[in-house]
Amino acid sequence: MILANIEDYRTLARKRLPHFLFEYIDGGAFSETTLRNNSADLQTIALRQRVLRDVSSVSTATTLFGKEYAMPLGLSPIGIAGLNARRGEVQAAQAAEEAGVPFCLSTVSACAIDEVRAAVNNPIWFQLYMIKDRGFLREILARAKAAGTDTLLFTVDMPVPATRYRDMRSGLSSGTILQRKITRARQVLMRPQWAWDVGLFGRPHTLGNIAPVLGDNAGIDEFWSWLAQNFDPTVTWADIDRIRAEWDGKFIIKGILDSEDAKQAASIGADGIIVSNHGGRQLDGALSSIRALPDIADAVGNDLGIILDSGVRSGLDVVRALALGANFVMIGRPWVYALAARQKKGVREILDIFKNEMRVAMALSGNTSVNTIKRDSLVNL
């Protein structure tokens, strides 16, 4: 199979993963309206074609929070992504480092931050939720600092986990534990390559960062229970302000869709925000991230670094986001599809695809630098 774009990697990931894992990656909340709109709304944005402008030298390089990157693209945190290939988060972090882009590890990753950090040369980003047990939360922060992490993504759009029908149907989150285990075992048997590479030789199948509270034998079922019991619905801006005061590195708030919330993030001293609806996995019916972006950029564009997440599937989408006010873009599903399809090599390949698509879109819209991509690079329809 020739893999040309992200949809091709998605197709191959579906063939290689047990059904419950693919549905977890691919699905969204409720009827998945916001999930679909995230990508569909990006496709409605027309780039302005320009000609005869000497685009013989196009650079995708950029700077974010004082660091240089090969392109304005990073890998978003994805829960249990490490189960999609053997020690998957390690492979993805290595691919990102080789490509010159940032990788962010999830709180609920399969591989612990210490393991991932030991596999790369430079510190990685880390994502954190507000956990009810504040003592454990501070312990995780301390582990991130000890691993050299200087950029913390704090996710704020998950005070309660949403209902995801695909996860219920696939055997991931509904039924008794015994029913779920039997359903998943049958699905694993239908994917012998995954069963051999990940199921047998990819152990331990634990949630590395929260193993201290769940135990070393905790797996997917414990993960789902932990999600339901430990996210804190009482969290307010005052709690975020206190976390900011304890973290001396870069602090990015993930899950902003409203300009007033963006202003509040600036007021507590955040370095950046991620305009995101959790990939359509939380509030179904919410605005797509790209539709929310322009108002937010207009409100706080000079005060915060603005990152867009959710629905990005090509380098053209990256250019669209930059033109509408983002400084940087992060991708989630694309890199996990690629990891499942072709492991570390797949992640490197899709990063190359994004970079090449960016270069073509920039050249044909008359931009030789990321810094020149503004709203006049779009057609005002």
Catalytic residues: 278
The end-to-end CA distance of the chain, in Å, is 38
SS in 3 state form for the chain? CCCCCHHHHHHHHHHHCCHHHHHHHHCCCCCCHHHHHHHHHHHCCCECCCCCCCCCCCECCEEECCEEECCCEEECCCCCHHHCCCCHHHHHHHHHHHHCCCEEECCCCCCCHHHHHHCCCCCCEEEEECECCHHHHHHHHHHHHHCCCCEEEEECCCCCCCCCHHHHHHCCCCCCHHHHHHHHHHHHHCCHHHHHHHHHCCCCCCCCCCHHHHCCCCCHHHHHHHHHHHECCCCCHHHHHHHHHHCCCEEEEEEECCHHHHHHHHHCCCCEEEECCHHHCCCCCCCCHHHHHHHHHHHHCCCCEEEEECCCCCHHHHHHHHHCCCCEEEECHHHHHHHHHHHHHHHHHHHHHHHHHHHHHHHHCCCCEHHHCCHHHECCC
Alpha-carbon distance of 143 to 306, in angstroms, equals 27
